[in-house]
């Protein structure tokens, strides 16, 4: 049995590789990476697999039984890139593809979901058994906000009082490992989210509690928040995307109380307080 992970030198990919190594012999794990030089420390075989290079992908996927396709970070190019991976997997006879999609991909107001919907459709069209890991937000998305809360005197955003069922990257990595090493997950769709939702005001309250400082959350209109992020030096498109995602969050796009994630990993998801404490420790 050979299990391959794309994006294996990314933050989620590295956690998946580490957790897989705890369950399986390293000889059964293949890291598919854009830059093999960055994979030397992974402790498993690494093969070059750039999402933009179909011939390289076909070579890299030879002999692979199960594949975790970690969605690309190159927003705007992802549907084409993921299609390249799916085509190569079909050519190579891969028997199962698990894909890291977005929470409620079919109904979410978040614009980020467009490319995920395209990839989900491509997976279904390919006829390869698939598993859709519809991941909610990483709590670590708030790392900069938590770290900057005291020096900046507060936390800002445009998420209103939207409830955010976030979980840690490690929780989502463990779910991927459970699916890749378990049975009976073919053609299942998992809406994965944290056990306990929080609002941005709750996040500020947790930072206040742990720092002993008074930290408030200030909500802004989407356009003003995008402008603020741009003024910090974020590229225009990325700033707009983050602000638009906050609006989607305010509409409930990141809320889910199914507890599917904790059922899949067999333990509660990582609480907000733990992630805040880790960030504050530095
Ligand atoms: N749920 C959430 O809250 C959330 C938040 C952010 C992102 N995401 C999505 O989840 C994915 C994994 O998250 P993460 O934290 O691990 O992100 P990350 O650390 O940015 O990792 C992204 C991975 O994609 C790889 N990649 C990008 N372009 C590629 C290409 N052309 N060919 C092959 N690989 C390519 C990167 O390769 P290199 O290692 O060579 O750079 C990296 O390994 C992200 O890519 C994004 O789609 C989800």
State the Cα–Cα distance between residues 33 and 44, nearest whole angstrom: 12
State the Cα–Cα distance between residues 164 and 278, nearest whole angstrom: 19
Residue nearest to atom 7 of ligand 1 (CA): 73
| Centroid of ligand 1 to alpha carbon of 9 (angstroms) | 9
| Centroid of ligand 1 to alpha carbon of 85 (angstroms) | 14
Determine the pLDDT at residue 189: 98
Q: Which tens digits make up the pLDDT trace of 18-54?
A: 999 999 999 999 999 999 999 999 999 999 999 999 9
pTM of structure: 0.98
Q: Inter-axis angle of helices 222-231 and 236-250, to 10 degrees?
A: 150
Determine the pLDDT at residue 169: 98
State the Cα–Cα distance between residues 181 and 164, nearest whole angstrom: 29
Q: What does the mean pLDDT of the chain come to?
A: 97
| Centroid of ligand 1 to alpha carbon of 7 (angstroms) | 6
State the Cα–Cα distance between residues 217 and 161, nearest whole angstrom: 10
Determine the pLDDT at residue 263: 98
Which of 282, 140, 280, 139 minimizes the C-alpha distance to 215?
Answer: 280
Ligand 1 atom at minimal distance to the Cα of residue 81: 31
Determine the pLDDT at residue 157: 98
- What lies within 8 Å, CB to CB, of 126 at 6+ separation is 86, 87, 89, 90, 97
Which of 92, 83, 96, 8 minimizes the C-alpha distance to 52?
Answer: 83
Q: Is the dihedral of CA 67, 70, 71, 77 positive or negative?
A: negative
> Which residues, judged by CB distance below 6 Å to any ligand atom, belong to the binding site of ligand 1?
7, 9-13, 34-35, 38, 50-52, 70-74, 81, 100, 135, 137-138, 141
Ligand 1 atom at minimal distance to the Cα of residue 8: 43
In the Cβ-directed half-sphere of 87, how many Cα atoms lie within 13 Å?
A: 13
Determine the pLDDT at residue 62: 97
| DSSP assignments along 256-276, one per residue | ----HHHHHHTSPPPPHHHHH
Determine the pLDDT at residue 51: 98
Determine the pLDDT at residue 63: 98
First to last CA, the chain: 39
List the chain residues with pLDDT less than 70.
none
| Centroid of ligand 1 to alpha carbon of 209 (angstroms) | 32
Q: Tokens 């790392």 sit at which residue?
A: 143
Q: What is the DSSP letter of 44?
A: S
Tokens encoding 192: 């994965």
**Distance, C-alpha 94 to centroid of its chain:** 23
């Amino acid at each position: 049995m050979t299990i391959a992970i794309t994006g294996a030198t990314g933050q989620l990919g590295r956690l998946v590789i580490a957790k897989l190594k705890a369950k399986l012999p390293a000889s059964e794990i293949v890291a598919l990476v854009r830059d093999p030089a960055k994979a030397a420390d992974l402790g498993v075989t690494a093969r070059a697999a750039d999402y933009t290079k179909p011939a390289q992908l076909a070579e890299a996927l030879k002999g692979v039984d199960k594949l975790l396709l970690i969605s690309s970070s190159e927003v705007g190019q992802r549907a084409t890139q993921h299609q390249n991976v799916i085509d190569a997997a079909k050519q190579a006879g891969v028997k199962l593809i698990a894909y890291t999609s977005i929470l409620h991909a079919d109904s979410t107001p978040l614009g980020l979901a467009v490319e995920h919907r395209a990839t989900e459709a491509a997976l279904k069209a390919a006829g390869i058994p698939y598993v859709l890991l519809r991941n909610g937000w990483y709590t670590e998305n708030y790392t900069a906000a938590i770290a900057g809360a005291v020096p900046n005197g507060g936390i800002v955003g445009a998420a209103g009082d939207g409830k955010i069922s976030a979980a840690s990257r490690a929780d989502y990595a463990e779910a991927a490992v459970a699916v890749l090493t378990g049975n009976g997950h073919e053609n299942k769709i998992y809406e994965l989210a944290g056990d306990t939702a929080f609002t941005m005001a709750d996040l500020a309250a947790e930072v206040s509690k742990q720092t002993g400082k008074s930290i408030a959350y200030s909500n802004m209109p989407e356009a003003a928040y995008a402008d603020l992020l741009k003024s910090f030096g974020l590229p225009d498109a990325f700033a707009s995307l983050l602000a638009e995602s906050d609006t989607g969050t305010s509409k409930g796009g990141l809320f889910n109380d199914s507890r599917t994630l904790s059922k899949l990993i067999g333990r509660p998801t990582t609480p907000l307080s733990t992630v805040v404490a880790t960030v504050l420790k530095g």
